[in-house]
């Protein structure tokens, strides 16, 4: 049943539904009518092309790209992984944009009014691109947890935001990477809005192989984008 | 080896310094901006602007909109479009709704040409925001093309009473053509979103 779809459909057994009442902001922001099926055309199977040339020298090192004379506070970490499609094929030249809170759980964003310190040596945003084998890699500071207003005593688990472009407009993905063993995961309406069987795909694995001796712990977070259907699209 | 898709999560309220830093005056280079068509790009300059409304009709100030469009000749800047494209036109734009007093988004671009397959000229749109766990796809069509809309396969797949949510409104009062395209997340004018 892959008629006229070059890329596989979004798997709604993997993605959160638009409306998730426990995450209160979804109530007024979720479409109420069913999505209209769309026959994929050039408009969907093409997409913006980024690659290594889109990434500046320090863009993949958040421990260095925001310094103003010192070093950022907190626990240095390395996040590495592969961007793959549903057939396990690497996605090369995928732009990976990341942004996150600092080690105290504070974002540099002007709207964030959480009473925790900004770090003059940490910006919290960066990007990298995958290589020919779909691998990406960046260094950062482990983000802190922070409170939010969803419900009484609500705290977001430690997380890093990810934005990805794959080979097409249809493979666009924005997600969040969480850390293993975080007790806040079971209390977080955003994480819990994800179908149960899919949640573990949002949690990175600790990896001693990625850990750099004497420098930083390593985490592995593989990302799977929509794959291609075997039947070529009729054009 | 079969893999399952990584779930989507919300872009959250604090994306601006990472994804739209130049627009919000953060010290990071943007990979995409609202100005899509540079001076050396062929085509008719147009501006697209609008607001994103929640279910109570309030404009949303922490949404991010991305557009992807063909050049004036209807060609995409991508290898899957074998016709090749205007090398000076990337066709991709990105803007947040948090820097305008009325929470408007805007794009300075060129009018796209028809891409083929019987489709009328259109701009492809992705919507992200706090409170949206999975992004939403929609399209912008242009009001001058009513005849082409009648045979457009995508518009034809949309219930007739909802098609107008995909058609921008023309404002010719200024020096360049401004197309108003509001996005309604809910309500009687709820925008059509596609299962792309």
Active site residue A136: no
Answer with the residue of higher pLDDT: B176 or B50: B50
pLDDT value, residue A3: 47
Pick the catalytic residue from A76, A135, A161, A172.
A161
* A159/A203 Cα distance (integer angstroms): 9
Domains parsed from chain B with CATH numbers: 29-184 (2.60.130.10)
Active site residue A23: no
Q: Give chain A's residues under pLDDT 70.
A: 1-4, 231-235
For residues B129-155, give the mean pLDDT.
Answer: 97
| Residue B85 clears pLDDT 90, i.e. is over it | no
Q: Which residues of A touch B130 (CB under 8 A)?
A: 25, 29
Interchain CB distance below 8 Å, A95 and B31: yes
pLDDT value, residue A232: 55
- B154-168 as b/e, with b when 16 or more CB fall inside 10 Å? bbeebeeeebebbbb
pLDDT digits (tens, 9 = 90+) for A93-111: 999 999 999 999 999 999 9
For residues B144-159, give the mean pLDDT.
Answer: 96
pLDDT value, residue B86: 66
> From the candidates A162, A169, A178, A223, which should be mutated to test the interface with B, based on the most B CB atoms within 10 A?
A169
Interchain CB distance below 8 Å, B92 and A202: no
pTM over 0.90: yes
pLDDT value, residue A4: 63
- Put simply, whether B41 touches A (Cβ < 8 Å) is no
pLDDT digits (tens, 9 = 90+) for A43-97: 999 999 898 888 999 999 999 999 999 999 999 999 999 999 999 999 999 999 9
Which distant-in-sequence residues (6+ apart) come within 8 Å of B61 by Cβ? B97, B98, B103
- Summary mean pLDDT of chain B: 95
Interchain CB distance below 8 Å, B78 and A46: yes
pLDDT value, residue B40: 84
| CA of A219 vs chain B CAs: smallest distance (Å) | 16
Active site residue A76: no
| Residue B165 clears pLDDT 50, i.e. is over it | yes
């Amino acid at each position: 049943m892959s008629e006229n779809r070059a890329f596989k459909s979004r798997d709604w057994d993997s993605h959160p539904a638009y409306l998730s009442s426990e995450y209160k902001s979804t109530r007024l922001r979720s479409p109420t009518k069913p999505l209209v099926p769309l026959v994929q055309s050039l408009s969907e199977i093409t997409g913006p092309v980024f690659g290594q040339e889109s990434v500046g020298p320090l863009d993949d090192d958040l421990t260095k790209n925001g310094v103003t004379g010192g070093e950022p506070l907190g626990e240095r970490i390395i996040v590495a992984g592969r961007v793959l499609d549903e057939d396990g094929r690497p996605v090369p030249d995928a732009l990976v944009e990341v942004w996150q809170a600092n080690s105290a759980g504070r974002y540099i964003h002007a709207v964030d009014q959480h009473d925790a310190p900004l770090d003059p040596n940490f910006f919290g945003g960066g990007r990298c691109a995958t290589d020919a084998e779909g691998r990406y890699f960046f260094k950062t500071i482990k983000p802190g947890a922070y409170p939010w207003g969803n419900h009484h005593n609500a705290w977001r688990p430690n997380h890093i935001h990810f934005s990805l472009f794959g080979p097409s407009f249809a493979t666009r993905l924005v997600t969040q990477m969480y850390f293993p063993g975080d007790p806040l995961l079971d209390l977080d309406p955003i994480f819990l809005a994800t179908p149960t069987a899919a949640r573990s795909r949002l949690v990175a694995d600790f990896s001693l192989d990625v850990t750099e001796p004497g420098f930083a712990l390593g985490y592995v977070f593989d990302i799977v984008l929509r794959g291609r259907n075997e039947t070529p699209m009729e054009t | 080896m079969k893999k399952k898709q990584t779930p989507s999560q919300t872009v959250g309220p604090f994306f601006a310094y990472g994804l739209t830093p130049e627009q919000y005056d953060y010290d990071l280079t943007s990979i995409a901006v609202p100005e899509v068509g540079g001076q050396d790009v062929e085509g008719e300059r147009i501006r697209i602007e609008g607001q994103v409304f929640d279910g109570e009709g309030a404009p949303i100030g922490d949404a991010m909109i991305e557009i992807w469009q063909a050049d004036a000749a209807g060609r995409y800047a991508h290898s899957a479009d074998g016709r090749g494209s205007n090398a000076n036109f990337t066709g991709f734009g990105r803007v947040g709704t948090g820097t305008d007093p009325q929470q408007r988004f805007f794009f300075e671009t060129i009018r796209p040409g028809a891409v083929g397959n019987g489709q009328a000229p259109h701009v492809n749109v992705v919507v992200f925001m706090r409170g949206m766990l999975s992004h939403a796809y929609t399209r912008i069509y242009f009001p001058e093309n009513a005849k082409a809309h009648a045979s457009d396969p995508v518009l034809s797949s949309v219930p007739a009473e909802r098609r107008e949510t995909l058609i921008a409104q023309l404002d010719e009062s200024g020096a360049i053509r401004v197309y108003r395209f509001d996005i309604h997340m809910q309500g009687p004018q709820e925008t059509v979103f596609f299962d792309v």
